[in-house]
Amino acid sequence: MSVLTLTYRPRRFADVVGQGHIKPILRAMVLADDVPPAIIFGGSRGTGKTTSARILAAALNCSQPVKGDACGTCVHCLSVQKTNSTSVLEIDAASNRGIEDVRKIKDLCMYAHEGEWRVVLLDEAHSMTADAFNALLKVLEEPPPRTLFVLLTTDVDKIIDTVRSRSMYFEFRRLTTENIVSRLAMIAEAEAFEVEKDLLVEISQRAHGGMRDAVMFLDQCLRVGIKDACGFKALHGITDVSETIFSAALQGNLSQGFTAIEETFRRTGDCSAMTDDLIELIRDIMAVKEGASLSRSEKDVERREELSKRVTTDRLVAAIRVLWDFRIKIKQSDQRSMMDMAFVMLSESLKAKRDAAVSMPINSSDSSARLSLADMGRLASVSNG
């Protein structure tokens, strides 16, 4: 069985999902046969930076381009896809990050190659040293003819300003749930793999806007025959107790909330995921209250609609501020104890009036924002018990 990420990797701009603000510009540059000496592709991992860079390299050298797009079938396009084109250099800048490495790259650009354009892809470009960037800057100031440098990065701020100012920047955005679900459905159909839509929605949520991760998740499901969201969660050990914790906080049922937190922490050893899930849940509830649509399964939407009827928007705002403050401080203290404190404050914020506790920071010096002695005693007994 082939790896789905390789089998269904786009070969033309037309196949790239999303990034509609980028593809027309790249195609226009290919049509004009005029590109700047350097381009920066920045954005989260798995959003199509390397794929688009390869397609751009293929299109510039394509024997039969179609309106600025690569044909995907000619000798030049196929050699780029197989990463054996003499016209395209793919360099791991994290491993080749020094000044001597840049000088070697410059020398390689002088050798003859089969295509019209020499394209150098510098992956993880932000890993280069300051001296390497300065050496690259000299190359960009006097670039070899018909040579394009594409800097691929997940952290564009680490690329020095002088290089950035001489490069055309493109920001690759996270893909929407709809984008990912549509692509996964196409792949599943092509593989004759029947899946439930809730699985595709769950995968898209867990991929956080990255198509590559989403396709990898689908590949895993295909290999073990998982066809629904429950099976996917079980496979990856995903335990989302946000609804349980939120409901307990809403009811003021501290015992239920402490139990859910304790059981989850014993399995995962981490409270960050619980906090993130709670923040996302409250965001969904607020969206439902305002009539917005959610990219979730019908069952998830129904549960969020039910919860939205039990709480006002101002209390949700107070709750989200408690969680945001906790999320910042979670790395500075013991996670387990802090999570219990955050839960108590979450419960208080959901039942308090808007002017009482909208922005209670966890470690505020204001006595009105502190936990009561009774609450602290309950926390200590639960944590130690």
Number of domains in the chain: 3
Sign of the alpha-carbon torsion through 359, 362, 363, 368: positive
Instruction: Check residues 29 and 377 and name the one with the higher pLDDT.
Output: 29
> What is the chain's mean pLDDT, rounded?
85
Question: Once rounded to an integer, what is the mean pLDDT over residues 9-31?
Answer: 94
Question: Once rounded to an integer, what is the mean pLDDT over residues 296-310?
Answer: 87
Question: Once rounded to an integer, what is the mean pLDDT over residues 300-320?
Answer: 89
Instruction: Check residues 344 and 334 and name the one with the higher pLDDT.
Output: 344
For residue 17, give the CATH number of its domain.
3.40.50.300
| Pair (280, 360) in one structural domain | yes
Q: Which of 38-42, 65-69, 177-181, 235-239 has the lowest mean pLDDT?
A: 235-239
| Pair (204, 277) in one structural domain | no
Closest CA to 147 of 17, 38, 54: 38
| Pair (279, 364) in one structural domain | yes
Domain that holds residue 144: 4-172
Of 118, 147, 172, the last residue of a domain is: 172
pLDDT band at residue 332, thresholds of 50, 70 and 90? low
Ordered DSSP codes for 64-122: S-BTTB--SSSHHHHHHHTT--TTEEEEETTTS-SHHHHHHHHHHTTS--SSS-EEEEE
pLDDT band at residue 331, thresholds of 50, 70 and 90? low
d(CA 202, CA 129): 40
| Pair (199, 278) in one structural domain | no
**Is residue 337 packed enough to be buried (19+ CB in 10 Å), middle (13-18) or exposed (0-12)?**
middle
pTM metric for this prediction: 0.74
| Pair (267, 226) in one structural domain | no
pLDDT band at residue 334, thresholds of 50, 70 and 90? low
Question: Once rounded to an integer, what is the mean pLDDT over residues 74-93?
Answer: 91
| Pair (192, 299) in one structural domain | no
**pLDDT-above-70 percentage for the chain:** 89
Question: Once rounded to an integer, what is the mean pLDDT over residues 264-270?
Answer: 79
| Pair (75, 28) in one structural domain | yes
Amino acid 210 reads G
Instruction: Check residues 17 and 326 and name the one with the higher pLDDT.
Output: 17
Of 152, 172, 192, the last residue of a domain is: 172
Predicted local confidence at residue 358, as pLDDT: 38
pLDDT band at residue 352, thresholds of 50, 70 and 90? low
For residue 204, give the CATH number of its domain.
1.10.8
Q: What is the pLDDT of residues 193-203, one digit of tens each?
A: 999 999 999 89
Predicted local confidence at residue 1, as pLDDT: 55
| Pair (153, 33) in one structural domain | yes
Closest CA to 337 of 368, 363, 365: 363
Q: What is the pLDDT of residues 132-175, one digit of tens each?
A: 999 999 899 888 889 999 999 999 999 999 999 999 999 999 99
| Pair (32, 128) in one structural domain | yes
| Pair (165, 310) in one structural domain | no
The answer, yes or no, to whether residue 48 has pLDDT greater than 90, is: yes
Of 172, 191, 215, the last residue of a domain is: 172
| Pair (268, 319) in one structural domain | yes
Predicted local confidence at residue 10, as pLDDT: 94
Closest CA to 383 of 340, 331, 333: 340
| Pair (69, 211) in one structural domain | no
